[in-house]
Each structure stands twice: as C-alpha cells, then as structure tokens.
Chains A and B, each alone.
Chain A
C-alpha cells in the first residue's frame, strides 16, 4: 500500500517570502503521480499541481513548484512570494491504481499561516 507522510503539522511564513512544504511518499509502483491540493477555511479542495513519476522536469504552476526528488521519494511544494490568501491546509496526495480507476492517497496535511 502506498503512504504519504507530511511531517510539518503547521508552518508560518512571512508575506512575500518563499516556503517549502514537505512530502515524502512510499510506493513500490514504477508509475505513479503526486499531487498537491489546497484546502482553505471554506473547505473546498483546490488542485494546485501534479507531477508524474516519469516527468523529468519539476512541475510548475505560477507561484507553485514541485521539488521532485525521486531517489529520496520526496515531492515538496514550494510556494514563492507568499500571499495572505495562501493561508490554508495543504495536502500532498499520490495516485494509486485500483482494479478500475485510480484513488488518491492523502497525507495528513500541513496548515500554512502567512503573516503580514
């Protein structure tokens, strides 16, 4: 079974600074995908970024980048130039193939607070 570990229950960052949220994963699959989702206080799940296991380049989406280190089995999220609106819970997740379809296996999450 796959497992996602997020070791930082909570993080603080100063507005306009960069922050890294840690994620390590455990899988024996050769093909897999890693995601980051943002959950603001309103509760919805917002997709941020995706990295496939065969992608050689780190994924980037605007201010979000995924620092993918396959040998270390880590997929850290980097948020550059933090904004107050980035305050939220952040989940790392891995796509796990089932007999039909895929499910997402989530970590426990990291709460990020951006200070002004």
Chain B
C-alpha cells in the first residue's frame, strides 16, 4: 500500500495562475480532507469529503474548490492563486467501521506551494 500520496510535492505559481493538487489513497477510505499549514500554526481544514461525489467546506474554504469524482482521489483546486495561499497543503483520509468514522486520519507527505 502506498497509503496517501500527493502530487506535486512542490510548486511555484504566479499570482492569478490556477492549479490542481491531487490526493490519492489506496486504502478504500471513505473520508478525505484537505488541510493547510502556515508558519507558527497548526493545520486548518479547507474542505473535506465523506464519500465519492460529496464535498463540504471546512474552516478556511475561500479561494479553493474541490472535487471527488472517484473514491480514491480528492482534488484541490486554486482558480486564481494569491500570495496568501502560500502554504503547505496536506491531504488526509480516514475510514468508517459500521458507519462510524474511526478516529485516526492518515496524512499524505504534503505539497509546498509558493505563490509569488
């Protein structure tokens, strides 16, 4: 099992450019999450998904969109990048037992994004 993988690992964008971050998991997990980590702060939730075709907003969703067309993939899009979106982005996934989500979230290695 590769676990949770993220593509790309690093990216530099100019203000106004768009890009998509890909998160993939091979553990058949139902739940997937996108977090961002800024200096001096812990991770904050951007968007999440509780299953294929469903997404919801987290605490810092502005400027981002997400899609989950396949259970194993969760895409994070930046339509018009801004310097405030310079951050490290982490994807995570978790699964459920008998309909209840288990507590542990499995994290990907992160994507370091710089917007100039």
Measured CB to CB, the residues of A under 8 A from B are 4, 33, 35, 37, 43-45, 47, 50, 52, 91, 93, 95, 98-109
B42 touches A107 (CB 8 A): yes
Q: Which A residues lie within 8 Å of B101 (CB)?
A: 101-102
Instruction: Among B42, B44, B90, B94, find the residue whose CB has the most chain A CB atoms closer than 10 A.
Output: B42
Q: Are B109 and A103 in contact (CB under 8 A)?
A: no
Q: How far is the CB of A110 from chain B (nearest CB, A)?
A: 11
**Per-position contact with A for B84-116: 1 when CB-CB < 8 Å, else 0?**
000010101010000001011111011010000
Count chain B residues whose beta carbon lies closer than 8 angstroms to a beta carbon of A.
Answer: 28
Given contacts A44-B109, A45-B107, contact A98 B56 (CB under 8 A): yes
A50, B110: Cβ atoms under 8 Å?
no
* Docked CA distance A102–B102 (Å): 9
Q: Which 6 A-B pairs have the closest CB atoms?
A: A106-B42, A45-B107, A100-B50, A103-B45, A106-B43, A101-B50
Q: Is B74 an interface residue (CB 8 A)?
A: no
A23 to chain B: closest CB distance in Å? Answer: 11
- Within the assembled complex, what's the spacing in Å between the Cα atoms of A91 and B92? 16
Least CB distance from B34 to A in Å reads: 11
A35 vs B105: C-alpha distance when bound (angstroms): 10
Could you list 9 examples of A-B contacts with CB < 8 Å? A43-B88, A44-B107, A45-B43, A52-B103, A104-B45, A104-B92, A104-B105, A108-B40, A108-B42
Q: Could you tell me if B58 and A33 are in contact, using CB atoms closer than 8 angstroms? A: no
- Whether A103 contacts B42 by the Cβ 8 Å rule is no
Within 8 Å by CB of A44, from B35, B50, B54, B110, lies B110
Interface centre among B31, B33, B43, B106 (most CB of A within 10 A): B43
- Counting CB contacts under 8 A, is B2 at the interface? no
B90 contacts which chain A residues (CB < 8 A)?
45
In the complex, A101→B34 CA distance in Å?
Answer: 13
Q: Are B104 and A47 in contact (CB under 8 A)?
A: yes
Chain B residues with CB under 8 Å of A52's CB are 103
Chain B contacts for A109, CB-based, 8 A: 40-42
